[in-house]
């Protein structure tokens, strides 16, 4: 299926995506609505230049460009973009088209949902991470004070247009990063999807596998739009993963972990916590951890840096009554939310990870 209507906007895949997006541009031109494209330097050069010639109904448009990387997902850059929109005459009838990976779709969605209390926007994700995760589900956010996604909102978009050809523009590291979120989808909801991904590998991800991951996420978020229950499952690997990501952004700003890399290591650790908490069979965890290590390698992290990592846990949005809450596994395809874990087990998980 190449089209799916959701609470957060319609999703269009493969050939239908270009047709549907061009129709949206035709409507914008007919109503004299201003069109703005938000890109980073990489997606401007590698993706937008390929996209625009395929759009016969594209009229006049304005271009907003930010530097690539997580550093652009900030309130400072947001303020610059709000000012640019105002100077360029954006109004409530305008539409912002976000062309890029997860940083661009998170940032662009936040800009659009807050400018003039909300203007129309859509996503054209160009990374594997964006296609299977960041662009789907209505979350928008920026990072503040080094904390991932500290400020944001839920907002529905006009549409998400998936063009798999853009995956050809990605370096291997970016493909691998997006693959981590696909593995997560299988681990929390679909054991056969996980096995299929491991069999194929990130280098040969197929459109059908992208669609399967997308549909797993859509099924979860549509059942729980505001993350009161089941949607928390999607945070498997993210409690410690986000902490690792924040630590590396602060400690190594010129060589941070990519989001998917941090989530992969977070999943390794949270699989270990699942075993230490008595939820998951150790042999099952060991097999998955071996898969993760074979794809993402191992990360040597000194004890002094681990203390910095755990200091970020207090900002996790799942925390309740000052207690860090995890999503753990009890089997492949079966996640358990709102798990309270003793700090001593978190420490043991780290020690086992470093010894592996």
Contact 122, 157 (CB under 8 A): yes
Are both 154 and 228 inside the same structural domain? Answer: no
Mean pLDDT, residues 216-244: 97
| pLDDT band at 113; cut points 50, 70, 90 | very high
Q: In the prediction, which pLDDT does 119 show?
A: 98
Name the domain boundary from 152, 169, 186: 169
Whole-number percent of the chain with pLDDT over 70: 100
How are beta strands 334-340 and 325-331 bridged, if at all? Answer: antiparallel
Are both 252 and 165 inside the same structural domain? Answer: no
Contact 318, 239 (CB under 8 A): yes
SS3 for 63? strand
Looking up residue 312, the CATH number of its domain turns out to be: 1.20.1090.10
pLDDT: is 89 or 319 the higher one? 89
Mean pLDDT, residues 141-152: 96
Structural domain of residue 337, as residue ranges?
Answer: 172-355
Are both 23 and 151 inside the same structural domain? Answer: yes
Number of domains forming the structure of the chain: 2
pLDDT digits (tens, 9 = 90+) for 46-101: 999 999 999 999 999 999 999 999 999 999 999 999 999 999 999 999 999 999 99
pLDDT at 109 over 70: yes
Q: In the prediction, which pLDDT does 2 show?
A: 82
Are both 187 and 163 inside the same structural domain? Answer: no
Looking up residue 90, the CATH number of its domain turns out to be: 3.40.50.1970
Q: In the prediction, which pLDDT does 1 show?
A: 61
* Owner of token pair 């399967």: 212
Whole-number percent of the chain with pLDDT over 90: 96
pLDDT at 322 over 90: no
Mean pLDDT, residues 149-167: 96
Report d(CA 219, CA 189) in Å as an integer: 10
Name the domain boundary from 169, 185, 201: 169
Q: What is the H or E stretch that residue 269 is in?
A: helix 259-276
Return the structure tokens found at 301. 């992290």
């Amino acid at each position: 299926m190449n089209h799916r209507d959701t609470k957060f906007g319609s999703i269009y895949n493969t050939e239908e995506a270009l047709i549907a997006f061009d129709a949206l541009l035709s409507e914008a031109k007919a109503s004299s609505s201003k069109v703005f494209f938000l890109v980073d330097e990489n997606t401007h050069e590698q993706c937008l230049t390929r996209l625009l010639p395929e759009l016969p109904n594209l009229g006049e448009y304005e271009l907003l460009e930010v530097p690539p990387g997580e550093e652009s997902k900030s309130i400072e850059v947001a303020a610059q973009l709000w000012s640019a929109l105002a100077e360029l005459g954006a109004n409530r009838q305008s539409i912002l088209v976000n062309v890029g990976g997860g940083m661009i779709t998170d940032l662009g969605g936040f800009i659009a949902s807050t400018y003039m209390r909300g203007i129309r926007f859509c996503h054209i994700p160009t990374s594997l991470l964006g296609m299977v995760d960041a662009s789907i589900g209505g979350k928008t956010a920026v990072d503040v004070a080094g904390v991932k996604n500290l400020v944001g909102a839920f907002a529905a978009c006009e549409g998400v247009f998936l063009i798999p050809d853009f995956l050809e523009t990605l370096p291997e590291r970016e493909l691998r990063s997006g693959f981590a979120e696909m593995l997560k989808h299988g681990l929390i909801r679909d054991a056969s999807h996980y096995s299929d991904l491991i069999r194929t590998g990130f280098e040969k991800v197929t459109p059908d596998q992208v669609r399967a991951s997308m549909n797993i996420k859509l099924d979860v978020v549509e059942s729980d739009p505001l993350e009161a229950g089941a949607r928390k499952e999607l945070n498997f690997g993210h409690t410690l993963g986000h902490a690792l990501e924040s630590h590396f952004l602060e400690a190594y700003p010129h060589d941070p972990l990519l989001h998917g890399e941090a989530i992969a290591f977070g999943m390794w650790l949270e699989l270990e916590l699942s075993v230490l908490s008595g939820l998951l069979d150790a042999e099952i965890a060991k097999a998955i951890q071996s898969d993760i290590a074979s794809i993402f390698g191992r990360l040597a992290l000194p004890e002094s840096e681990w203390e910095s990592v755990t200091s970020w846990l207090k900002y996790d949005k799942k925390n309740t009554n000052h207690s860090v809450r995890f999503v753990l596994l009890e089997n492949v395809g079966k996640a358990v939310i709102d798990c309270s874990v003793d700090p001593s087990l978190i420490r043991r998980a780290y020690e086992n990870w470093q010894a592996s």
